[in-house]
Structure 1
């Protein structure tokens, strides 16, 4: 069953991407998934969005490392963090990381790349209460150059949905 996000967001998908029901495409636990229109040798690049409230003291770097460990425990044969950097400001913190991994899916071993972006949304009245939104691009190594710009375009459109029109 797809999850809901801890805070509402809005965004636009770039051309060449379409949303899909998470449960129907094997992505349980995410609130949103978009698929690229051109698979690479049977693998479809995808963008997923999930999130949760994090009342604990974990930093965004801690959360990024938790994601790495989840991948290592899952089907990934190897996972390597190739970059990690902080984004945003103290009032609107974020973190980006890039991973390379080898995984077997459907009986086929694939070399994949993931770009993770973590966005923290702090409660104005209680800064220790925060929601974290995680946006992930997964592609084959061969697809990365062709879809990374799309992911960056997608990220530029992500904002909190305040329920008011501009």
Structure 2
């Protein structure tokens, strides 16, 4: 069963991507998942969405560091290939790219995960800050081919105020 997000969001999947059952991806805490229709050597690139209300003192970099440590518990040779703060003071965000090796199915694979952390205010309670994490996981060979779709997806994510059609 999907884990609810701390604040409602709206988004649009890239063309061709298919909604998936988060529990099928072995990704605890995931609120939404989608898979690319063309697997690479048996591995389907996927987009996942999760979120939390972090402690007030936690920075986006702190949360990104936590993600790296969590991934190290299930994957090998996890490396941060890049990290960048983006967005504005009103809408801060952070991106990071992780490279690692993991067993998916019964095959060891070299994978790349691009993560985007978005800091959003709860529209119902502006004092409450939520962080939404969007992640693209793909084989090293397919990552760059699906990265544009993921970037398009990220651009559509916004708070869901329930007032838009």
TM-score (norm 2): 0.93
Cα distance in 2 between the residues matched to 1:89 and 1:41? 39
1:70 positional shift: 0.3
- Work out whether residues 10 and 159 of structure 1, in 8 Å CA contact, stay in contact via their aligned partners in 2: yes
- Work out whether residues 29 and 50 of structure 2, in 8 Å CA contact, stay in contact via their aligned partners in 1: yes
- Work out whether residues 43 and 104 of structure 2, in 8 Å CA contact, stay in contact via their aligned partners in 1: no
Q: Deviations over 1:9-49 (max 9, x none)?
A: 11111112010121244333200000000001110000000
Question: Which residue does the alignment assign to 1:17?
Answer: 17
1:99 positional shift: 0.7
Matching of residue 94 in structure 1 with residue 90 in structure 2: no
Question: Which residue does the alignment assign to 1:30?
Answer: 30
Question: Which residue does the alignment assign to 1:79?
Answer: 78
Q: What secondary structure sits across from 2:149 in the alignment? A: helix
Matching of residue 137 in structure 1 with residue 136 in structure 2: yes
Question: Which residue does the alignment assign to 1:46?
Answer: 46
Cα distance in 1 between the residues matched to 2:117 and 2:4? 16
Cα distance in 1 between the residues matched to 2:126 and 2:3? 26
Cα distance in 1 between the residues matched to 2:63 and 2:137? 18
Matching of residue 121 in structure 1 with residue 120 in structure 2: yes
1:150 positional shift: 0.2
Q: Provide the alpha-carbon RMSD of the alignment.
A: 1.4
- Work out whether residues 55 and 130 of structure 1, in 8 Å CA contact, stay in contact via their aligned partners in 2: no
Query: Which shifted more, 78-87 or 52-61?
Result: 52-61
Cα distance in 1 between the residues matched to 2:105 and 2:137? 16
Count the aligned residue pairs. Answer: 163
Cα distance in 1 between the residues matched to 2:24 and 2:105? 16
1:125 positional shift: 4.5
Residues 125 and 6 (structure 1), Cα distance of their counterparts in 2 relative to 1, 3 Å cut: closer
Question: Which residue does the alignment assign to 2:55?
Answer: 55
What stretches of structure 2 of length at least 5 have no aligned partner?
none
TM-score (norm 1): 0.92
- Work out whether residues 6 and 131 of structure 1, in 8 Å CA contact, stay in contact via their aligned partners in 2: yes
Q: Deviations over 1:93-136 (max 9, x none)?
A: 1100001111122331100000000001135753xx31000000
